[in-house]
Homo-oligomer: A and B are copies of this chain.
Amino acid sequence: MAEQIEFDQAHQTLQEVSEALENGRFVYVRRQLQDMEPEDIAHLLEASPRKSRDVLWQLTDPEDYGEILDELNEDVKDNLVSKMAPEKLAEATEGMDTDDVAYVLRSLPDDVSREVLSQMDTADRQRVETALSYPEDSAGGIMNTDVITIRGDVDVDVVLRYLRMRGELPEATDALYVIDEESMLIGHLSLSTILTTQPDVKVIDVMDDADEAIHVETSDSDVASLFERRDWVSAPVVDSDHHLVGRITIDDVVDIIREDAEHSMMSMAGMDDDEDTFAPVVKSARRRSVWLGANVLAALAAASVSNMFEATLEQMAAIAVLMTIVPSMGGVAGNQTVALVIRGLALGHIGDSNKRELLLKEAAIGFLNGILWALIIGGIVVAWKGNWMLGGIISAAMLTNLLVAGIAGVTIPIFLKKLNIDPALAGGMALTTITDVIGLSVFLGLATVLLT
């Protein structure tokens, strides 16, 4: 049970460290931190309330700062970095990957970021400035520049001797890149090829060609789906002239995949996916109230609909009692469709060629479930209120609303995407507004015509 033990240990460490912090046993905590891997310290920091987090950071060996910052959630990283002096930060960057240094600098005020850059050595500074020149969410923003390049006209034996002389390879290196005299990328030579071919073969005869190099301006989500589909461990990045400018490794891609998937989940609930679990109260409250504000408009829209039927509600209170059921069912059914469509859009499964098919399918599902729940709810209402007409009205409204929910659930996210609005963020709220308004209008409208 090697790993089970490791997991239990992680939780136990967390518990022990927090207790030790509360009791002020700082020496003990410092010693614990010295024995931990940087990625485990990062996890401990993310799982700690903000007060303890600052103390833990003080007690951590500054030598590890770079590697820990590499691993932290963005909100937590921003917060710790904002409290560090520029010269400390410049020191920490020595242990970090180029793309992560660029990330940290982007989040700092301009003058601080310039000061940190000025404290770095020339070679490092140039690498970071190159990374800063690309957008954060592009291949250029996530690549590293630690590539090993070789020439195509040498023997594999020369490569072997060069590598032995060079010593340790950069992390996650699974291939060397083959360039010509103008440093254009012409191919790559995997480590396994080097190990399984005869030493007297020329590199150019055993290398793979460079058709699938990633362009430096490709978006990070496109990079992630390429890695996922092609099962790559690393891939070269080229500029428009096909010059090799860097490489992207699977560990950064895994972070993007996780963030993209979390983004959909958090956005659908109206949350920012960078949000730290222990973010400060006022900051969180402010971020979240934007979404609550949008919902106030949706709720007021629904209230305005009910308001038009005030006379009906006055005549028959049972209608008021039942009027929330139809909008609620429509919202739930519509959000099932919205979730399916948002995932389909994110995976690139939905396009012009199949959206009609999808619309028909979801409308049919809405119709089937509409009939089912119209019968059930209608039956319950007749049994409860003893009014056949009221049962018929709620059934008709339910069927209409679930059909509308299926259709709106497909069209709203696709339409939002066309407008370049994030469907994960706005889709659910727009859908709920429509199912609330339609559900209330049909139910209260029919009740007004048929019962009063």
Tell me whether A269 and B338 are in contact (CB under 8 A): yes
- Give the distance in Å from the alpha carbon of A442 to the alpha carbon of B322 in the complex: 18
A292 within 8 A of B: yes
Tell me whether B336 and A324 are in contact (CB under 8 A): no
A120 within 8 A of B: no
A226 within 8 A of B: yes
Flag A108-142 by CB within 8 Å of B: 1 or 0 each. 00000000000000000000000000000001000
A197 within 8 A of B: yes
Tell me whether B196 and A167 are in contact (CB under 8 A): yes
Mark out the residues of chain A between 161 and 200 whose CB falls within 8 Å of any chain B CB in the assembled complex: 163-164, 166-169, 171-174, 191-192, 194-198
> Which stretch, A10-18, A57-65, A413-421, touches the partner chain B?
A10-18
Provided the pairs A198-B164, A357-B278 are in contact, do residues A372 and B289 lie with their beta carbons within 8 angstroms?
yes
A348 within 8 A of B: yes
Flag A329-354 by CB within 8 Å of B: 1 or 0 each. 10011011011101110011111111
Tell me whether A196 and B166 are in contact (CB under 8 A): yes
Mark out the residues of chain A between 142 and 173 whose CB falls within 8 Å of any chain B CB in the assembled complex: 160, 163-164, 166-169, 171-173
A450 within 8 A of B: no
- Give the distance in Å from the alpha carbon of A354 to the alpha carbon of B361 in the complex: 45
Question: Nearest CB to that of A270 among chain B residues?
Answer: B336
- Give the distance in Å from the alpha carbon of A110 to the alpha carbon of B354 in the complex: 35
A160 to chain B, nearest CB (A): 7
A310 within 8 A of B: yes
Tell me whether A332 and B291 are in contact (CB under 8 A): yes
Name the B residues within 8 Å of A163 (CB-CB): 195-196
Tell me whether A229 and B369 are in contact (CB under 8 A): no
- Give the distance in Å from the alpha carbon of A244 to the alpha carbon of B116 in the complex: 48
Provided the pairs A2-B215, A195-B164 are in contact, do residues A324 and B324 lie with their beta carbons within 8 angstroms?
yes
Question: Nearest CB to that of A357 among chain B residues?
Answer: B49
A257 within 8 A of B: yes
